[in-house]
Amino acid sequence: MFKGGWFKLYALVYLTFLYAPIILLPLFAFNDATVIAFPLSGFTTHWFTEMLADPTLKQAVKNSLIIAVSSAVIATTLGIFASRASTRYEFPAKGGIMGLIMLPLVLPEIIVAVSLLVVLLGLGVNLSILTVILGHVLICTPFTIAILSSAFQSLDKSLEEAAYDLGETPASTFRLIILPLVMPGIISSLLISFTISLDEFIIAFFLAGTEPTLPVYIFSQFRFPSAVPVIMALGTILVCLSILLLTIAEIFRRRGIAKSGGKDTGGFL
Amino acid sequence: MDSGNGTGRFFRTESGAGLALISPTAIYALLMLAAPLGAILLYSVFKDGYLEIIREFTLANYIEAWTNELYRQVMIRSLFVSLSVTVVTVLLAFPVAYFVSFHVAPSRKSLWLFLITIPFWTSYLIRVFLWKVILGYNGVVNSGLLWTGIIDEPLQWINYNVGAVVTTLAHAYAPFAILPIFVALEKIDRSLLEAGQDLGESKFRTFLRVTLPLAMPGVVASVLIVFIPTIGDYVTPQLIGGPEGRMVANLIQLQILKLDNYPLGSAIAVSAMAIVTAISLLFLLMTRRYLKGPK
């Protein structure tokens, strides 16, 4: 169709715009020059070896991994409670409670960061990896609920009732029937929260104290032009890693929806 | 939680079980979100003493935040940037959402959405930095134009200014704008469009009178989901904006982390949120007639 053809062309141009920065990344990561500009001067893997030799970077990666894993587990657990409650039960003030929990989705992150900082310092809490986790759980939870709700939503209530009729308790029903059915959703939500936390900058910037996360480290390196090619190498690895994690998450998300008999309505958000 | 340990009949009722089940998440949100938001509201009316905060009520922070010429400029610029980003992002996103919803085979829709969301999840900082590379003095755009001979010397007006900030943010929030519009378009009953054309409307008129009004809830959602977070963006104005492109988040960071003035920083944050909320409510009020009707 001619009309569809124009739309398709536009969509492809738009995708090119979306991917433009990501396509440039490996070009500069393998470019043999300290200045990030065209024309390219030659191929090198020097930036990758230099990256591996940096002890500050290693520490930042370690901090980020601890934070991302903890945030993903805690946020997904909180997400399971909230999405199960909101899809299965009617209760007073449901809209208000869910609104508050989902608020970080639209609230500027700087507001979350500043308000948490003020409270934590007011209470005399020292800034550390732990305080970053507190903030990251807050911003990851709405995303886990978005994913998990669609998993719980497509669950057939009669399966649960059948289990009760056969003498299972609510706890064993949850473990034996519901959990296996929503498991793909849980895995998908863990991976998404991990990716969000690993990439999050502003909350970590405010709450990390003296223990930089990976994005905080990257941001600090932007001030030194000579450090930028190493960051491009690091970025290339990060982009590959997040594409891999997202692809796995997407596979699990689709499998979960198929498993519980629902209809696929779209992406993660 | 939902196992019902027999302590109370309340937890076995529908609302009791629901409340019990949601309580861990709700309590976390209350402690880590509602209470801190309350705290900055409180701090914003405290006095800033040297090295400590004096717990006395004052409106001086708000007066400073609203009358100081510099702060006012930053606030107006932030609003201008967010509004431009919102308009640009939503206008550019609509045809993409329309294409995926109306012209892509159902089996391939998820693939398109996946492709659209991927760039959104990949290192935000590095993406922003790469826009600097694209729009910079020796950047991709300039070297491309020089090479083709369209220009003789690098363009200055595309880097380190508000326009560069708008471009970068429009890129960052693109999936946020596409997805709500897509969801709204997916819900439209296709037989309505056929009915419109059977009754003699042209394709374009059908779009204007049937598709667009029915897609409005999605458009409204994407406007809000782009507009509200962009005003608080810190990284893009910091890296791309140059001195003339600083926004409200940079100002808040300066007050809180650099100058240690928590009350003024809080007052600026609260003011920014109040303005954003007011504009959002006004927008919702203006588009109210599209949001009603059967679900």
pLDDT digits (tens, 9 = 90+) for A154-169: 777 888 888 888 888 8
Contact A118 B262 (CB under 8 A): yes
Contacts of B263 (CB under 8 A, 6+ apart): B43, B44, B45, B46, B47, B48, B53, B61
**Residue type at position B51:** L
Q: Which of A87-96, B45-54, B89-98 has the lowest mean pLDDT?
A: B45-54
What does the H/E/C string look like for A72-89?
HHHHHHHHHHHHHHHHHC
Tell how strand B53-54 and strand B47-48 pair up.
antiparallel
- Per-residue pLDDT at B3: 45
Picking from A101, A77, A24, A47, the residue whose alpha carbon sits closest to that of residue A230 is: A47
Q: Please, which residues 45-84 of chain B have a Cβ atom closer than 8 Å to chain A?
A: none
Same domain assignment for residues B80 and B18: no
Same domain assignment for residues B7 and B126: no
Whether A3 shows a pLDDT value over 70: the answer reads no
**Residue type at position A267:** G
Min Cα–Cα distance to chain A from B114, Å:
6
Residue B174 touches chain A, beta carbons under 8 Å: yes
Confidence of residue A76 (pLDDT cuts 50, 70, 90): very high
**Would you say residue A190 lies in a domain?**
yes
Mean pLDDT of A131-160: 89
- Per-residue pLDDT at B87: 94
Confidence of residue A79 (pLDDT cuts 50, 70, 90): very high
**Would you say residue A184 lies in a domain?**
yes
Domain residues for the domain of B32 are 1-43
When mean pLDDT is compared over A1-15, B11-25, B31-45, B187-201, the highest value belongs to B31-45
Same domain assignment for residues B173 and B247: yes
3-state secondary structure of A42: coil
Whether B50 shows a pLDDT value over 80: the answer reads no
What residues of A are in contact with residue B22 (Cβ under 8 Å)? 81-82, 85-86, 91, 97
Same domain assignment for residues B217 and B72: yes
Give chain B's domain count: 2
**Would you say residue A108 lies in a domain?**
yes
**Would you say residue B48 lies in a domain?**
no
Picking from B122, B133, B236, B114, the residue whose alpha carbon sits closest to that of residue A237 is: B122
Whether A190 shows a pLDDT value over 60: the answer reads yes
pLDDT digits (tens, 9 = 90+) for A45-70: 878 888 888 888 889 999 999 999 99
- Per-residue pLDDT at A177: 84
**Mean pLDDT rounded to a whole number for chain A:** 85
Mean pLDDT of B12-35: 88
For A174, the closest of B2, B96, B138 (CB atoms) is: B2
pLDDT digits (tens, 9 = 90+) for B125-138: 888 888 888 887 76
Q: Which of A65-74, A160-169, A187-196, B88-97 has the lowest mean pLDDT?
A: A160-169
Whether B11 shows a pLDDT value over 80: the answer reads no
- Per-residue pLDDT at B281: 92
- Per-residue pLDDT at B117: 84
**Would you say residue B69 lies in a domain?**
yes
Query: Which helix (H) or strand (E) covers residue B47, if one does?
Result: strand B47-48
Confidence of residue A259 (pLDDT cuts 50, 70, 90): low
Confidence of residue A202 (pLDDT cuts 50, 70, 90): very high
CA angle A217, A223, A227 (to 5 degrees): 70
What is A193-243 written as a DSSP string? Answer: HHHHHHH--HHHHHH-TTS--HHHHHHHHTT-GGGHHHHHHHHHHHHHHHH
Mean pLDDT of A89-106: 89
Q: Which of A29-43, B33-47, B54-68 has the lowest mean pLDDT?
A: A29-43
More confident of the two residues A119 and A255? A119
Q: Tell me the CA end-to-end span of chain B in Å, nearest whole number.
A: 33
Same domain assignment for residues B165 and B218: yes
ipTM for this prediction: 0.82
Give chain A's domain count: 1
**Would you say residue B278 lies in a domain?**
yes
Residue A246 touches chain B, beta carbons under 8 Å: yes
CATH number at residue A227: 1.10.3720.10
Min Cα–Cα distance to chain A from B70, Å:
20
- Per-residue pLDDT at B83: 93
Same domain assignment for residues B280 and B187: yes
How many helices (H) and strands (E) chain A has is answered by: 12, 0
Residue A37 touches chain B, beta carbons under 8 Å: yes
CB-count exposure of residue B56 (10 Å: 0-12, 13-18, 19+) = exposed
CB A268 within 8 A of CB B117: yes
Picking from A160, B177, B43, the residue whose alpha carbon sits closest to that of residue B169 is: B177
Min Cα–Cα distance to chain B from A127, Å:
13
Phi, psi of B110 (to 5 degrees): -60, -35
Picking from B104, B236, B175, B285, the residue whose alpha carbon sits closest to that of residue A18 is: B175
Chain A: residue whose CA lies nearest to B107: A264
Same domain assignment for residues B135 and B80: yes
Same domain assignment for residues B23 and B88: no
**Would you say residue B49 lies in a domain?**
no
Residue A258: CB atoms within 10 A of its CB come to 13
Same domain assignment for residues B212 and B119: yes
Confidence of residue A2 (pLDDT cuts 50, 70, 90): very low
- Per-residue pLDDT at B159: 67
Cis peptide before A55 (omega within 30 of 0): no
Contact B119 A22 (CB under 8 A): yes
Whether A74 shows a pLDDT value over 50: the answer reads yes
**Would you say residue A228 lies in a domain?**
yes
Domain residues for the domain of A152 are 72-259
**Would you say residue B53 lies in a domain?**
no
Chain B: residue whose CA lies nearest to A17: B171
**Half-sphere CA count of A26, side-chain side, radius 13 A:** 6
| CA B135 – CA B161 distance, rounded (Å) | 10
CB B234 within 8 A of CB B250: yes
A51 — alpha (psi -120 to 50), left (phi > 0) or beta? alpha
**Would you say residue B247 lies in a domain?**
yes
Query: Which helix (H) or strand (E) covers residue B136, if one does?
Result: none
Six token digits for residue B187: 């819900």
CB B222 within 8 A of CB B88: no
| CA B126 – CA B122 distance, rounded (Å) | 8
A263 — alpha (psi -120 to 50), left (phi > 0) or beta? beta
**Would you say residue A10 lies in a domain?**
no
Min Cα–Cα distance to chain B from A40, Å:
11
CB-count exposure of residue B63 (10 Å: 0-12, 13-18, 19+) = exposed
Q: At what angle do helices A228-259 and A179-199 cross, to 10 degrees?
A: 160
**Would you say residue A82 lies in a domain?**
yes
Same domain assignment for residues B103 and B164: yes
Picking from A107, A131, A109, A133, the residue whose alpha carbon sits closest to that of residue A121 is: A131
**Would you say residue B273 lies in a domain?**
yes
**Would you say residue A15 lies in a domain?**
no
Q: Which of A113-117, A189-193, A252-256, B170-174 has the lowest mean pLDDT?
A: A252-256
What is B60-118 written as a DSSP string? Answer: HHHHHHHH-HHHHHHHHHHHHHHHHHHHHHHHHHHHHHHHHHHHS-HHHHHHHHHHHHH
Whether A4 shows a pLDDT value over 70: the answer reads no
Whether A268 shows a pLDDT value over 60: the answer reads no
| CA B204 – CA A16 distance, rounded (Å) | 27
| CA B265 – CA A48 distance, rounded (Å) | 40
**Would you say residue B263 lies in a domain?**
yes
A156 — alpha (psi -120 to 50), left (phi > 0) or beta? beta
| CA A91 – CA A258 distance, rounded (Å) | 29
